[in-house]
Amino acid sequence: MTYVKHNSGINDDWYTPEYIIDMVKQVMPIELDPASSDSANKIVKSKRYFTESNDGLLKDWKGKVYINPPYSRGWVKKFMEKLCYEYKTGFVDEAIALLNNGTETGWFQDSAKLSSAICFPKGRIRYLSRDLNSSNGPLQGQVIFYFGKNCKKFIKVFQELGECFRK
């Protein structure tokens, strides 16, 4: 889930479509979604999840993590720094992150260095709106990072979306 607060006060939610969650679950079970909502978890069905109100950045992360973090200014950087830290320290043993493909950003470069595999989808992923209906497509393409030891499985599953690369 991605919660984006605009200066106008409008809150846009971008939820992961079910087919992406199904793909994630073919690679690993989702034990934690640290940037979610009650509505988004109806699709993700994570054992544990944190919402905007109980701030996943302040919680401990462990196990197998799926994250579609907030994309607004500063949030994606904070969530990806937290994911990279938790993975490097061994608290997170496997993770998949769905993000906009900001290849020029520091968070992207740091995540790419640490990740085990990357998928660049052929087209833009149509997220779901807060009511879990299809929304308009995003303004840029996406990237899916994989952190863990099961690269072959990740690539086998995600290659139908687009080009996958293993380090």
What pLDDT is stored for residue 136 in this prediction? 63
- Helices 106-114 and 75-88: crossing angle, nearest 10°? 20
pLDDT at 120 over 60: yes
Would you say 127 and 14 are in contact if contact means Cβ atoms under 8 Å apart? yes
Percent of the chain with pLDDT over 70: 84
Given pLDDT bands bounded at 50, 70 and 90, which one contains residue 138?
low
Domains of the chain, earliest start first: 2-166 (3.40.50)
Lowest-confidence segment of 10-19, 22-31, 80-89, 141-150 by average pLDDT: 10-19
pLDDT (tens digit per residue) in 97-109: 999 888 999 999 9
Least confident of 90-94, 116-120, 133-137: 133-137
Q: What is the DSSP track for 25-89?
A: HHH----EEEEE-TTTHHHH--SEEEEGGG-GGGS---EEEEE----STTHHHHHHHHHHHHHHT
Single-letter residue type at 17: P
Q: Are strands 142-147 and 92-100 parallel, antiparallel or unpaired?
A: antiparallel
Taking only the tens place, the pLDDT of each residue in 81-90 is 999 999 999 9
- This prediction's pTM: 0.88
Neighbouring-strand partners of residue 92:
63
5 vs 69, which has greater pLDDT?
69
Contact predicate 88/80, CB 8 Å: no
